[in-house]
Structure 1
Amino acid sequence: MITMMFQRAREVFILLFLAVFSKAVSIKSNYQRASPMPSSDGSASYCLSWRLAVEANNVRAWPMVPTQCMRHIESYMLGGQYDHDLDLIKDQILSYVNETVLNGDGMDAWILDVDDTCISNIFYYKGKRYGCDPYDPTGFKAWAIKGGCPAIPSVLAMFNKLVEKGFQVFLITGRDEETLGKATVGNLHNQGFVGYERLILRNATYKGKSAVIYKSEIRKQIEGEGYRIWGNVGDQWSDLQGDCLGIRTFKLPNPMYFVP
């Protein structure tokens, strides 16, 4: 009798052990299916962290996108997440715009950058491996003079709301006025940016000055004319640093290049 009881207890113990082990294996298997495994060299995790650090301005003066991150940047820019991020920022801007009460004297201003804020250079940077190749000013000028940059849809929609609200919209760009002025005006108009107050390009006075200094001085001039800057939008931190920034600033994502 004792032998039979011992054998029965042993069988029950084995069954319980197998049940617990099987459940543990199932949980581990489900977790592995739900959690994507990093690549063997860790590049996926590194590139995600690198892009976040770039947008937070923790990585500065970076000359090129790390080579191992080219596919990550391509996927971000063309895979939908970039557009989702822009839409969220646009919604935040318009929420702020809807809360503003303008004075009605025509002196309520808004600042917008141009390249990769209003219009996109994604097709140019595709040929530059999304920023993995060195910046080529001659090549970019040849691209920009064609006037083929498409509008960034969320920003165009925001621009139209700003104009409709009654803001005087100033477009400030680091593009050279002499060589790219006409092409830039035509490009913006063809893409639907109609009704802005003024397009300001870099002229000889600001040649060699950093974007921060150049754009600060332009904003100071605008305020000197009596305008009140309610908002300032750009894809580079240098668009949003310096003097006379306005009441609020909004940074758009751009992991393809850095402008000091």
Structure 2
Amino acid sequence: MASGQSLTPIFVFLLCLVSTTASPSVIQILRENTVSEYRNLRIDDDPFCESWRLSVETNDAGYWSTIPARCLQFVEDYMTGERYSYDSEFVAQDSLAFAKTVEMAGDGRDSWVFDIDETLLSNLPYYEAHGFGSESFDESSFDSWVDLAEAPALTASLSLYNDLKQLGFTLFLLTGRGEYQRNVTEKNLLDVGFTGWERLILRGTSDQGKPAIVYKSEKRKELQDEGYRIHGNSGDQWSDLLGFAIARRSFKLPNPMYYIA
């Protein structure tokens, strides 16, 4: 614009417009919102829920109890669609690529630890009937599901499991399930194709009440004390992987349905 004089009316107009339409100010509104309120500001559900899932999978979210109500359809679509399978396959491929770099000693002490639920076995049929993580966890109904011994194998994990066995790894299964579920757990694993593990470790009486991260760390330490070298550890929870006596490499499978500390 050639003349600066014509800017003045426009500036006055804009100033009046802002003063009449933005009171209280946008800055003031945002400052008055708490963090939780800000998270509830309207954003399209899919981008919001994708970002929420990233926060969960990277453990940035910390402790959480149920999925956001607005993400129910998102989690259902993710878990029952191709994306969950693709993500699980990527984890398996990365795991196998690392496993192939391990120099095996040939003494049976090179080992890999697997969690079971949402790592080897999928409880998706149970969670389909219980809101994909939108409902509070009910131990009694979940135990009834476990007793059926009908959980399908995670296809990518079964393939990885068999590949590791072929490479000569000694395989340990470390689960938060109780000792009283040993028979049904073994049956379920065998029925869907998991065979040849060295030891299935479940919570005993002395393990009850311990946080998962403590219980699983203690069991890994016992394996190390026996002389086993834990090269890899696969689990769907950070509490499967963190703590002490950790593996050389840990591999986190996707699970946006629940969190175990």
TM-score between both structures, scaled by the size of structure 2: 0.83
2:162 maps to 1:128:
no
Distance (Å, rounded) in 2 between the aligned partners of 1:186 and 1:59: 35
2:60 maps to 1:58:
yes
Query: Which residue does the alignment assign to 2:171?
Result: 169
Query: Which residue does the alignment assign to 2:19?
Result: none
Distance (Å, rounded) in 1 between the aligned partners of 2:51 and 2:163: 34
Query: Which residue does the alignment assign to 1:101?
Result: 103
- When the two structures are aligned, how many residues end up with a matched partner? 220
Distance (Å, rounded) in 2 between the aligned partners of 1:245 and 1:113: 13
Query: Tell me, what secondary structure is at the counterpart of 1:99?
Result: coil
Distance (Å, rounded) in 2 between the aligned partners of 1:236 and 1:152: 15
1:45-84 alignment, distance < 5 Å: 45-84=47-86
Query: Tell me, what secondary structure is at the counterpart of 1:242?
Result: coil
Partner AA of 2:98 in structure 1: Y
Q: CA deviation at 1:47?
A: 0.8
CA offsets 1:70-115 (integer angstroms, 9 cap, x no match): 1100111111001001111111111111111100011111000000
Partner AA of 2:216 in structure 1: K
Question: Which 4+ stretches in 1 moved above 3 angstroms?
Answer: none
2:241 maps to 1:240:
yes
Query: Tell me, what secondary structure is at the counterpart of 1:145?
Result: helix
2:185 maps to 1:184:
yes
Distance (Å, rounded) in 2 between the aligned partners of 1:256 and 1:48: 13
- State the identity as a percent: 42
Distance (Å, rounded) in 2 between the aligned partners of 1:42 and 1:161: 41
Distance (Å, rounded) in 2 between the aligned partners of 1:41 and 1:162: 43
Partner AA of 1:79 in structure 2: G
CA offsets 1:129-181 (integer angstroms, 9 cap, x no match): 10001100000000001100000000000000111111110000000112x11
Distance (Å, rounded) in 1 between the aligned partners of 2:235 and 2:87: 14
Q: CA deviation at 1:41?
A: 5.3
Partner AA of 2:130 in structure 1: K
Q: For the aligned residues, what is the CA RMSD?
A: 0.9
Question: Considering only CA atoms, is the larger Rg found in Structure 1 or Structure 2?
Answer: 1
Query: Which residue does the alignment assign to 2:253?
Result: 252
TM-score between both structures, scaled by the size of structure 1: 0.83
Consecutive unaligned residues in structure 1, runs of 5 or more: 1-39
